[in-house]
Amino acid sequence: MTKENSNADQLISVILNGIEDVKGQNINILDLRDIENTVCDYFIICEGSSNTQVNAIVNSVQKKVSKETKDKPWHIEGSDNAEWVLMDYVNVVVHVFQKHIREYYDIESLWGDAKTTKIETSY
């Protein structure tokens, strides 16, 4: 495993912990590495039930990643209305949706060639 992959694996693990800490739902990891011309290696997609929960997920991920990896997102957008917040960690991009917005944009089907891993949560 390359150093880059282990860094991505660690980052993904910390991001997932951040999402799960505030009970983010329907978590999927899309592995985009085998698809040409992608902007990153992984998408992590999840949803919150309200803009309050979406913001809580974003804040939880940011705090955990900052504390455990000393990494900050390169860019965050969508926080104002918190229906779809994108957190760009360069190789890993996190999409935090409200359910109806996720269904409307259906980005999983846009990236149908990606290898998708569903994360089972116990809550």
Domain covering 3-109 in this structure, CATH number: 3.30.460.10
Section 76-93 average pLDDT? 96
**CA 100, CA 116: separation in Å to the nearest integer?**
21
pLDDT of residue 3: 62
User: Can you give the pTM of this predicted structure?
Assistant: 0.94
Residue 28, helix vs strand vs coil: strand
Closest-CA residue to 27 (of 9, 46, 14):
46
Q: Could you tell me the residue ranges of all domains in the chain? A: 3-109
Share of the chain above pLDDT 90, in %: 89
Residue with tokens 């996720």: 102
pLDDT of residue 63: 98
